[in-house]
Amino acid sequence: MEDLSRPGSRSDSPSSRSRRGGRPDPADVRQLADSPVSLRRVARLFAPHRSTLTVVVALIVLSSTVSLAQPFLVRHVIDEALPRQDVRLLLVLVGAMLAVAIATAAIGVVQTWLSTSVGQQVMHRLRSDLFAHLQRQSLDFFTRTRGGEVQSRLVNDIGSMQGVVTQTATSIAANVTVVAGTAVAMVALSWRLALISLVVLPPAVLLTRQVARMRHRITGERQRRLADLHVQIEEGLSVSGVLLSKTLGASPRLTARFDETSSDLVGLEIRSRLAGRWRMATMNVVFAAVPAAIYLAAGLPATSGGMTIGTLVAFIALQGNLFRPLMGLLNVGVDLTASMALFSRIFEYADLPVDLVEASDPTRLERTSARGEVRFDGVGFGYDPDRPVLAGIDLVVSAGSTLALVGETGSGKSTLASLVPRLRDVTTGSVTIDGVDVRDLASADLAELVGVVTQETYLMHASVRDNLRHARPDATDAEIEDACRRARIHELVASLPDGYDTLVGSRGHRFSGGEQQRLAIARTLLRDPAVLVLDEATSALDNETERAILETFASVSATRTTITIAHRLSTVRDADQIAVLHDGRVVELGTHEELLLRGGRYADLVRGGLERERSAA
């Protein structure tokens, strides 16, 4: 899937893309070819608003019809009221002209309000449903999908959908009404001039479309280079990007690359502006040439047909209102393709199968009654059936006991631990808590039962208090501070000028890695889960802080089940049992002393760890 997070990517509204040329965007065509979408499915989204949309269409037709009265009123003013100096008739006609203007303006406001309301309601429903649907996806979906793409589908694509209702659909209805009504009115005024317009307009329209296509090509290239510029700014000037470039000495290379992209934009910007000017110049010539041809025809005896000045002025006014709607109708195919591609992209995510299916009749297991016994019965897992990551795992973690998972990188430790909070589902076998399969538990109950602390902490751009309360919205300040004391972070937070109201900064950069990890530990302790999964939870801590945190874990582990993953001997040696994983299987199981006496793989891992500690010392 393409990255939609870049500015200048396909986040424009359908109407804005369609105006850039006379052909569908190739990306839209590819999208529909890869993920077709039916008009019937799109129509179902708007079915609850059918009556409102009917009123919108009726208002569009009414507004377009009422506005056609203006040229006829002008003709009567010029041909009758002014020559005869009929003040009463003049007042009536002028009043009617003003009434038409007020009526069309009022109708336009109501029509915009109704169409925008429908668009916003449909957009809200789609956005909320898609967000909820993506929340139900497994962790694997988010590891293989770019975050910017997910955000773009939720924000840009669904946001652009508003234009389908307020611009694409309404403009089609308005353009059809205006073109049809204007054509009838032109024939009624002068069938001779109407025929001349039919001869002059097609070449003018084709010329304008050719110039628009030229501008579309240049603008497309400019947008791509501008997107590259935005990406370079994002990658080079973010906190993480600056840190990476400084540590790798990449600043000169990034600067040269940015300078090259910026230089390319200079020429493209000039060409884009000139293309835009050519487009405007072409349209100005068309707008001048068509009336000139009509004036010429009106002045020739053979084609004038005794035409009055009022009729000529009214006809010119009508003809001037015909060009833009006609161009809009010629772009209907482009608009529809862009709109359908937009829905295709949204439905593409909405149709994703849910890997973690919620139980239809979930078993209740409340935290207050849970003991926390965890069992792995014949557990197997694999992204590819032919290449299992885990196979034949049988483990029992008694309530209140500690299991440590050790093994080389890639042995399956983190994958096995992730099955307990159901970040992934087993391929074979089952994972149970107090005899209940985690797949039979409601996700909310499972989240209360199992707490997870990983080596990759995530803090929101909010206050320390709000970050902690994210785990338990009803937590009191005293409970928050107690959790921080147990995580050995209270003194640091309390010493800050704003204390617990201090903003942690983007992704927690206000704090060091170890401080972030302690905040994450405090957040999990605040929830008081029955089962605690620690995946390298102390990896970013110094030895002294780690010892203090391990003491905290030792105290809380007495009342809960703990599954810990670590490469440090100090974090696993006191575990009630240690499972050694190799190639996705448990090859050894026992206590620290028992496994050392066996002299097997665990003993090798311990010796390797001690050698590394000696080298580091």
Distance, in Å, from the CA atom of 375 to the CA atom of 403, rounded to the nearest integer, reads 11
The SS3 call for residue 447 is: helix
| % of the chain exceeding 70 in pLDDT | 80
Distance, in Å, from the CA atom of 445 to the CA atom of 149, rounded to the nearest integer, reads 30
pLDDT tens digits for range 55-79: 988 998 898 888 888 888 888 898 8
Split at pLDDT 50, 70, 90, the class of 416 is very high
* Residue-wise DSSP of 563-611: EEE-SSGGGTTT-SEEEEEETTEEEEEE-HHHHHHHTSHHHHHHHHHHH
Split at pLDDT 50, 70, 90, the class of 238 is confident
Q: Which pLDDT score, from 0 to 100, does residue 162 have?
A: 65
Q: DSSP character for 377?
A: E
Superfamily of domain 14-190+323-354: ABC transporter type 1, transmembrane domain (1.20.1560.10)
Q: Give exposure, 458-492, as e/b (b: 16+ Cβ within 10 Å).
A: ebeeebbbbbbbebbeebeeebbbbbbebbbbbee
pLDDT tens digits for range 296-316: 777 777 666 667 888 888 888
Task: Tell me the average pLDDT across 576-586.
Answer: 92
Structure token digits, residue 143: 């590891």
Split at pLDDT 50, 70, 90, the class of 10 is very low
Q: Which pLDDT score, from 0 to 100, does residue 74 have?
A: 87
Split at pLDDT 50, 70, 90, the class of 508 is low
Distance, in Å, from the CA atom of 431 to the CA atom of 444, rounded to the nearest integer, reads 17
pLDDT, greater one: 335 or 229: 229
Does pLDDT of 385 surpass 80? Answer: no
What are the residue ranges spanned by the domains of the chain?
A: 14-190+323-354, 191-306, 374-616
Q: Which pLDDT score, from 0 to 100, does residue 306 have?
A: 66
Q: Give exposure, 536-547, as e/b (b: 16+ Cβ within 10 Å).
A: bbbbbbeeebbe
Q: What are phi and psi of 531, to 5 degrees?
A: -125, 130
Structure token digits, residue 48: 């609850």
CATH 3.40.47.10 holds for 374-616: no
Q: What are phi and psi of 50, to 5 degrees?
A: -60, -45
Does pLDDT of 212 surpass 60? Answer: yes
Helix axes 69-76, 87-135, angle to 10 degrees: 170
Split at pLDDT 50, 70, 90, the class of 11 is very low
pLDDT, greater one: 114 or 204: 114
- Which range among 72-86, 124-138, 276-290 shows the weakest confidence by mean pLDDT? 276-290
How would you classify the pairing of strands 402-407 and 577-582?
parallel
pTM: 0.64
